[in-house]
Structure formats: structure tokens, C-alpha cells
């Protein structure tokens, strides 16, 4: 169910919504939980970003970016500096929007693991939602490594039986072969048709992803991979708030510490454990 300022939502007939936004609205309205917003503008912003997350995931699916581990990560040196940990640090002479777009435009020059793919998708979707000028002012010092993100992305994660298109789910492979740690699990974007996109695994059903991971288990394992109830998403409300401000991205903004853990394909909850 959807609430706007405490009142049950009635869709405005003047809204020009596409099929993806209509699917999200329908699932929100049919859910046994409340999705609450201060205004229609806040709801519309979330719908826009969710749609763009889905579109960015589909574009990455079509890209030539390689699925690999931190050890073999690579990036375009015109836009990013490759760190010893396998992260991508924005060059000081490059605009953030240009660097994010280059990952999609020159995708064959890039290789990263599946956790890093999600912040890339988030940044690309946010850029397409708020425009390059706002993006450049908000995200001055980008660093792509695992789940590390700018504080304004405001990633949240929780366990739930209910999730929406644009959410990121985690397919866990507890008995993964230690020789191939990139198959520890899959961070996957839920698409509008119910399928999932995970970097390195393409667009598949959850059962197909489980079958792939089951082939990457350690010898003699009898524990199947499974899709968890962990749901991860940006804080759309915080994004709406900061995108509405006109301020310099470096002013009065504390950044999270960078946690280099070298563990490939971990969930955001797992990443938070290392940051404690």
C-alpha cells in the first residue's frame, strides 16, 4: 500500500508513467506493507530512479565489461586510477558523470566483480535521474570498490519477504569452491519482469542463477545455493532530498571509510560487517 502524507494513495490521471513504473506502482499497492511518502514528487522520484536502475542493469547486461576478481580488475586509465586493491579511483581532472558514462561506453576496457557492479549501476541510474550537473556537484570523489559508495547514495539493507523491481537481492552460495571466490554469491537487480540481472551471470531467473552457482560449489558439497531474503536499495528519500539541494558535493559531507577486504561477490550486509 502507498501513503502520501498519511493518506492512501490515489494515482493522478495526469501522470505519464511507462510500463516499468506502472509495474512498480501495482506491486507497491498490492503489498501488505506501507510505502510512505511526504509528497507525490518524492514517490515519482523513487519510481524514476528504480526504472533507471533496471535500465542501467539491462545496459550492463549488454556491455562487454568482464566479470572477474579484484586481483584482475581493470579500468580505463583516462578516467580512473586502478588501485592496488582493485578499486577504481576517479582521476582529479575528470568529471564524475563522464567517468561513470565511460564504463558503459567503453565497457570492454573494464573488468570488476559483482558487488562493485551494483554501485556502478546505482551511479549510472542516479546520473540518468538527476542530470550531469547535479551529479557532478554531489559525487566529486568517486571510488568504486565492492559496496563502497558516497554517503549521499544512502544504501540500506534489510531482510524482507517483499521486494520491488529495482531492489538488489542476494543469491548465496555457502559451499562455494574457494578456488573460485567470485562464485560466493550473486548481487542481482530485480527486473520488472521478475528476472534478475547479476554481473557475470546475465539476465536469468532466480532458479537459473541457483543452478549456475550449484555447479561452482566445492567438491562433495550437498548444500544448494539459495536466494536470501536480503533486500538492498539506495535511500530514495535521502537522494530526493540531496538532489533538490544546490550545494557543492564536498561541503559538509562526511564520507564512509573505505574498507578493503579482498572478498569477492559479497552482499552489502557482509560488507557492513567488515566496516564495523
The per-residue pLDDT for 276 is 75
DSSP 173-202: -TTB-TT-GGGSEEEEEEPTTS-EEETTTE
Going from the C-alpha of 216 to that of each of 8, 69, 209, 266, the distances in angstroms are: 47, 15, 11, 15
Per-residue pLDDT tens over the stretch 29-52: 999 999 999 999 999 999 999 999
- How is the beta sheet containing 2-4 ordered, strand by strand? 7-8, 2-4, 35-37
The per-residue pLDDT for 199 is 98
**118 Cβ partners below 8 Å, 6+ apart?**
147, 168, 187, 189, 232, 268
Which secondary-structure segment (H or E) carries 240?
A: helix 236-244
The per-residue pLDDT for 16 is 86
> Residues in the chain with pLDDT < 70?
246-252
3-state percent helix, strand, coil for the chain, nearest multiple of 5: 40, 20, 40
- Interatomic CA distance for residues 72 and 255, integer angstroms: 27
Which secondary-structure segment (H or E) carries 258?
A: none
The answer to whether residues 184 and 213 touch, using CB atoms and an 8 Å cutoff, is no
Q: Decide: residue 223, CB within 10 A, 0-12 exposed, 13-18 middle, 19+ buried.
A: exposed
The per-residue pLDDT for 15 is 83
Task: Domain ranges for the chain, please list them.
Answer: 2-275
Going from the C-alpha of 195 to that of each of 157, 167, 186, 274, the distances in angstroms are: 20, 12, 13, 30
* Grid cell 570523489 in the structure block, residue: 141
- Interatomic CA distance for residues 81 and 87, integer angstroms: 8
The pTM for the full model equals: 0.96
The per-residue pLDDT for 25 is 94
Listed in sequence order, the DSSP H helices in 63-131 are 96-105, 114-130
The per-residue pLDDT for 10 is 83
Q: Which three cell numbers stand for residue 144?
A: 568504486
Q: Hey, which residues does 127 pair with through a beta bridge?
A: none
> Quick one: DSSP state of residue 90?
E
Amino acid at each position: 500500500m502507498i501513503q502520501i502524507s498519511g493518506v492512501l494513495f490515489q494515482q493522478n490521471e495526469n501522470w505519464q508513467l511507462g510500463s516499468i513504473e506502472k509495474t512498480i506502482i501495482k506491486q507497491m499497492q498490492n503489498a501488505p506493507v506501507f510505502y510512505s511518502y511526504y509528497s507525490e514528487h518524492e514517490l515519482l522520484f523513487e519510481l524514476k530512479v528504480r526504472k533507471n536502475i533496471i535500465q542501467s542493469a539491462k545496459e550492463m547486461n549488454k556491455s562487454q565489461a568482464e566479470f572477474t576478481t579484484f586481483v584482475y580488475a581493470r579500468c580505463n586509465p583516462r578516467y580512473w586510477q586502478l588501485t592496488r586493491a582493485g578499486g577504481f579511483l576517479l582521476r582529479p581532472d575528470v568529471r564524475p558523470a563522464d567517468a561513470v558514462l565511460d564504463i558503459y561506453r567503453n565497457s570492454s576496457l573494464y573488468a570488476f566483480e559483482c558487488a562493485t557492479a551494483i554501485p556502478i549501476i546505482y551511479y549510472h541510474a542516479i546520473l540518468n535521474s538527476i542530470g550531469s550537473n547535479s551529479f557532478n556537484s554531489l559525487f566529486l570523489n568517486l571510488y568504486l570498490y565492492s559496496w563502497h559508495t558516497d554517503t549521499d547514495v544512502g544504501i540500506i539493507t534489510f531482510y524482507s519477504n517483499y521486494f520491488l523491481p529495482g531492489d538488489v537481492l542476494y543469491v548465496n552460495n555457502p559451499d562455494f569452491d574457494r578456488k573460485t571466490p567470485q562464485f560466493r554469491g550473486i548481487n542481482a537487480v530485480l527486473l520488472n519482469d521478475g528476472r534478475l540481472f547479476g554481473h557475470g551471470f546475465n539476465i536469468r531467473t532466480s532458479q537459473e542463477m541457483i543452478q549456475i552457482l550449484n555447479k561452482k560449489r566445492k567438491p562433495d558439497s550437498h548444500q544448494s545455493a539459495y536466494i536470501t531474503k536480503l533486500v538492498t536499495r539506495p535511500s530514495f528519500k535521502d537522494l530526493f532530498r540531496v538532489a533538490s539541494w544546490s550545494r557543492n558535493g564536498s561541503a559538509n559531507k562526511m564520507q564512509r571509510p573505505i574498507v578493503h577486504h579482498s572478498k569477492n561477490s559479497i552482499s552489502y550486509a557482509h560488507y557492513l560487517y567488515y566496516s564495523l
